Amino acid sequence: MATMSRRSRPSVIVVGAGAAGTLVAVHLARTAGRRSLGLDVTLIDPADRWGRGVAFGTSDDQHLLNVPAAGMSALPEEPGHFLAWLQRDEPGGDATAYSFASRRQYGRYLDGTLTDALADGLGELNLKHLRARAVGLRRAAAGSLVVTSDGRELRGDAVVLATGLPSSGSHWATSDLQNSAFFLPDPWAPGALDVIRRDRNGHPGVLVVGTGLTMVDVVLSLSDGANRPDRVIHAVSRHGRLPKTHAPEFALAAIPEISQWGDSLPELREQVWRHLSSVTRATGDWRPAMDGLRTQVAALWERLTEHDRAEFLARDASAWNVLRHRMAPSSGVVLREMRAAGRLTVAANRIVAAEPLPYGGLLVTFADGTDQNFGWVVNCTGPQADMRLLGDPLYDDLLHPRGGVSAAVAATGGMGVRTAHGRLLDSEGSTDAPVWTLGAMRRGELWESTAVPEIRSQALAVATAVLDEVAPLPRRLADGRVVSGRHPVARPRDPLGLPLSTTAEAAAAYNAGLERVMRLQSGADDLLREATRLDPDFAIAHAALAMLGHEAGADADVKASLEAARKAVRKRGDDRERSLIEVVGLRVKDVRRAGAQALMAHIADHPRDVLAVSAAVPTIAFSGVTDVQHEAWDLVEGLAPAYGDHWWYISLLAFTRQDQSRFDDAGMLAESALSCEPSSGHAVHAQTHVMYETGQHESGRVWLDHWVTESGRSASHRAHFSWHAALHELSLGDTEAVRRRYYSQLAPPTVTGVRALIDSASLLWRWKLTTSDWDGAVSAFGRGEAGAVFPGETQPPPVQPVLDAVDPVLLSAPQTPFVALHASIALAAAGDVAGLVELGRHCRHSRDASVRTIVATVCDALEAAVEGRWNDACRLLEDVLPVLVRVGGSAAQREVVEETLLFSLVNAGEAERAVKLLDSRLDRRTSLLDDRRRSSLTLAPVIA
């Protein structure tokens, strides 16, 4: 491919070089580079430079982005890309993920990102910027022709229309106003506001029509120090509502579960209202509810009939925009101060007449009967939404029938055109023409489609679809033949595009099951069973069942499924399928050694095999191939080229980043994954750890509770999420909440087996150490009530019912270091010295070095603690803590050992060492519990 001659190189024309067109070019360059594909791209736009468009072409640094830096990365797979650029652009500055940078900076960022992508593409992409306006589109024998205003006809194998928001509409203005030199119909025209800024002698009043975000920009530009000090700005609109401001601090989006919300506008209104009210009640703020809704808007919009959509546009859209499109907090402060100083007024009103004043300016009469003189009137009513009313030659040409067929059909309200995933539908409903669009041109079918968070994902999808069309990747069929991209006998594929040797119907059931595994949802085993029922010879569906049964506790007959898989693959299957079945067989025999080696070799050959990767990476669902943190990190990071920005991979990467204590990156990655897939359990898990490790206990608990009851309703491992919420509650000192949660979500029979061992038992031990028993310990050495952290705290629930709900083998002969560690904790919680001795003996004979050394020592330490030999317990725990990471699990899970050390130190009378340990934790993150424990020690007379 790399040697393709210039003449045979595919060509793509992108009309519009604003943010959307530039991002398409970025992704064309990056993807073509990765595929070693030579490509010619022509960007057509009269603008003098790419990456600006209306929004980012402003030269006024007061015009800020209305989305925080974390949401503005050009690359969906790297949510921190823009923030890193900002930090490089302003060395020593204070940019954070929640900064609102200037739009001018953002224009430079987009410009630089495309320039870098071209440089990194190893010259595969040849990009030309043609400064012209496209006025028409024609079908060509191959590809399409774009007609430009200067009469050229350019042929492209594919065309992307990235023409952005329509121009401002001023049809509402009376003819006197339209004809006045003191009326500015388009404040975004280059230099349009300069004439007002320079005006020192006319009437000081400026009337701004429209009270949305454009008005905010205009007010900022017309009120700074370069303007006359006596300027007063009056803003009017039909409703007189200003956009809301962003919260001063970042808050996680609360994504609602919408499957039961119904299809009609009245039902959706009620549900949206319910969602807003419940999130406001829980968090004290409505904004997380709006931010969560944003991820579901396209799905909700799709449910509405054309009639309901029209009704929404007429009655709800303006309220929606006020809440959804918010201004930066600093802009909100400026506007508030101006209003307080009488320099800005905002009112609901409408112009009915305008007359020229003798010395310049206008006398404006309003619908409420009042009139007033103004120096200038500025139109800030925003773009004319209906493309059919614009008189734009390109849009008119697209909608104009030729031979009875028009190239495009207007979507709802004329807000762009109809498409199939971005590819234009003609008036016959066909997607034959190789023409795509994105951004504002898809508003009618998506509603929210004009901001960068939506546009960047569309740009990547369009670039990939275009390349798949103009230069399809070769594919290998089951019989070994290599064919071009689309082929009638090609097999069905899994969610990552890997071929499946089965029928389309069975593949659909298998894929639904696999997606449940990827989202950490329950019910995957039923869907896989359904796939094997639909096609009994579907080998990897049998193998997947065996794997889930063996490694993830699913309800499956592992031996029978493995046997069925082996039998089926002899009849039908490709290399990957055969290899996977062999791997599952080895894993069943020996999960770690031979099984792990075979799994890693399989992943090296088939990195996009999601099932294999799921089993290899240690997560809440699978124990993985390693307990060594670095090995798990290397595995995940090494898979980046195979997955790019796939939400599932981004979720795993988010978890890795929090493990590496890179909490900002982890948070951004998790948010980005959740905006694509609100049910991604891995992303929620990563975000949960970020909240815990950064001390956001109250907001973490509320957010997690919301997720568990909404998008996470069918999450598997729900007990683990409940455990996380309980840790927040413990940290907040709210033991009544812990008790309620334990009995409703973590006590047997709700939770049993290995989850009960890991989550329920360890919670009970921590609870005991940090509350009632702590008080006892402190008062014992501290001689008084002064030290009580939780005065009057009663004992946590008994641990025996949990132990009864766990397979006894897990307690006496656990295999992995992580389970062995939790078995020792559970036995300690039960005060079972004999059990600890027996477990310790088993550990010392283990073939696993971490079990043999680390967990065996923990058993000794816990035995000493239960017997009240506190100095021994302290010594052993201090020995083991530095290497504890080798048992696997997360920092939050391993923390239970540190809690035991703290408790032992206090009991051993080592208050100073305990305070030091607490201080090192409090330096890392806030915790009411740790604060209270620390002051219980420092107030106690022993060290006073």
**Which residues contribute to the site for ligand FAD (CB under 6 A)?**
15-21, 44-47, 53-56, 65-67, 103, 133-134, 162-165, 214, 217, 394, 439-440, 450-452
Closer to ligand FAD at the Cβ: 39 or 74? Answer: 74
Question: DSSP state, 517?
Answer: H
Residue 900 to residue 894: CA distance in whole angstroms: 11
Closer to ligand FAD at the Cβ: 407 or 823? Answer: 407
Closer to ligand FAD at the Cβ: 186 or 311? Answer: 186
- Smallest distance from the beta carbon of 146 to ligand FAD, in angstroms? 9
- Smallest distance from the beta carbon of 27 to ligand FAD, in angstroms? 14
Instruction: Please give the span between the terminal C-alpha atoms of the chain, in angstroms, as a whole number.
Output: 77
State which amino acid sits at residue 571: K
- Residue 621 · residue 517 · CB < 8 Å: yes
Closer to ligand FAD at the Cβ: 248 or 784? Answer: 248
Closer to ligand FAD at the Cβ: 146 or 865? Answer: 146
- Smallest distance from the beta carbon of 40 to ligand FAD, in angstroms? 18
Residue 876 to residue 857: CA distance in whole angstroms: 7
- Smallest distance from the beta carbon of 441 to ligand FAD, in angstroms? 8
- Smallest distance from the beta carbon of 171 to ligand FAD, in angstroms? 18
- Residue 503 · residue 534 · CB < 8 Å: yes
Helix (H), strand (E) at residue 475 = strand 475-476
- Smallest distance from the beta carbon of 491 to ligand FAD, in angstroms? 38
- How many other C-beta atoms can be found within 10 angstroms of the C-beta atom of residue 319? 11
- Smallest distance from the beta carbon of 174 to ligand FAD, in angstroms? 25
Closer to ligand FAD at the Cβ: 70 or 862? Answer: 70
Q: Which DSSP string corresponds to 579-602?
A: HHHHHHHHHHH-TTHHHHHHHHHH
- Smallest distance from the beta carbon of 196 to ligand FAD, in angstroms? 17
- Smallest distance from the beta carbon of 405 to ligand FAD, in angstroms? 21
Tokens of 37: 């594909």
Residue 462 to residue 467: CA distance in whole angstroms: 9
Residue 113 to residue 839: CA distance in whole angstroms: 57
Closer to ligand FAD at the Cβ: 161 or 544? Answer: 161
- Smallest distance from the beta carbon of 234 to ligand FAD, in angstroms? 21
Helix, strand, coil fractions of the chain, as percent rounded to 5: 55, 10, 35
Closer to ligand FAD at the Cβ: 133 or 244? Answer: 133
Please count the helices (runs of H) and the strands (runs of E) in the chain. Answer: 44, 20
- Smallest distance from the beta carbon of 214 to ligand FAD, in angstroms? 6
Closer to ligand FAD at the Cβ: 79 or 573? Answer: 79
Question: DSSP state, 913?
Answer: H
Q: Which DSSP string corresponds to 533-551?
A: HH-TT-HHHHHHHHHHHHH
For the chain, the C-alpha Rg in angstroms (whole number) is 32
Integer angstrom CA distances of residue 823 from 726, 756, 883: 20, 11, 18
Closer to ligand FAD at the Cβ: 29 or 67? Answer: 67
Closer to ligand FAD at the Cβ: 450 or 711? Answer: 450
- Smallest distance from the beta carbon of 400 to ligand FAD, in angstroms? 15
Integer angstrom CA distances of residue 90 from 86, 87, 206, 665, 776: 6, 5, 35, 19, 53
- Residue 399 · residue 408 · CB < 8 Å: yes
Closer to ligand FAD at the Cβ: 335 or 738? Answer: 335
Closer to ligand FAD at the Cβ: 134 or 351? Answer: 134
Burial 528-557 (b: 16+ CB within 10 A, else e): bbbbbebbebbbbbbbbbbbbbbbbebebe
Give me the residue label for tokens 């603690």: 865
Strand partners, 365: 353, 371
C-alpha 841, offset from chain centre: 46
- Smallest distance from the beta carbon of 272 to ligand FAD, in angstroms? 22
- Smallest distance from the beta carbon of 20 to ligand FAD, in angstroms? 3
Closer to ligand FAD at the Cβ: 107 or 712? Answer: 107
Hey, what long-range contacts does 660-669 have (CB within 8 A, 24 or more apart)? 660/633, 661/693, 663/690, 663/693, 663/694, 664/80, 664/83, 664/96, 664/97, 665/79, 665/80, 666/690, 667/70, 667/97, 668/70, 668/73, 668/79, 668/80, 668/83, 668/97, 669/79, 669/80
- Smallest distance from the beta carbon of 59 to ligand FAD, in angstroms? 13
Closer to ligand FAD at the Cβ: 414 or 695? Answer: 414
- Residue 578 · residue 569 · CB < 8 Å: yes
- Residue 509 · residue 538 · CB < 8 Å: no
Closer to ligand FAD at the Cβ: 419 or 450? Answer: 450
- Smallest distance from the beta carbon of 216 to ligand FAD, in angstroms? 9
